[in-house]
Structure 1
């Protein structure tokens, strides 16, 4: 599957406006501080578009850049609630939507730097990832394949 660039350094690529190159001190518009990708030596690609036109977020700070010790804003809470209603069920309540900014995967010794939304339902934890990440998670002895859906 081929992909195309949808956002570079917070700038949409499907407009007639010229793209401003991002230098090493570029300030990310989503977190109002230095771009974490540039800081790590990567290109500041916020999102990509697949062949169907679907946009996939590729930056850990694009959707929810608020740090762990800072509460989410009402805007972020409402946005994540709307996303959870699409991913899980329209009946999901705001109190059932949680955010984790980093999750460990013991089996591979990895840390997933992405936003994930969790929902407690019937005493079981459901996990859905937002992004392009594919990995495996062991849950009560069962191997669950996590995909972008």
Structure 2
């Protein structure tokens, strides 16, 4: 018995074109199943949900914005709590009429420094926040409930 007979049938029973069509359909079904049921890019077995204490600074905000940042637990997926909040006038550099530069406090704008507890993921590569590495200097946009602010990380230490 030949593998393909003179009529183009596989093992004398199935047409070779039909067999290839069935294999193509099976490959498409398998690829679709792998896409739907496969790894969705979420955390791996070595990833661990944790919290991280972060020093976060927001500069040049109006006083009412600084006042709107709540202290205590936050109802947010990313920010667990504001542990400590301090507000001071924003320092600016101004030029006098002779061209000399002077550091002065802004008459209105404020700098807010926060100690936050963030919901993070600890991976083999380090601490990640919202899928990206948590690093000093990283710009973040955080939702505190009544206000959303852009600022940067000045320090952090992993928690538990």
Query: Given the two structures, how large is their TM-score scaled by the length of structure 2?
Result: 0.22
Q: Report the structure, 1 or 2, having the larger strand content.
A: 2
User: Per chain length, whose mean CA-contact separation is higher, i.e. which structure has more relative contact order (CA < 8 Å, sep 6+)?
Assistant: 2
Query: Given the two structures, how large is their TM-score scaled by the length of structure 1?
Result: 0.23
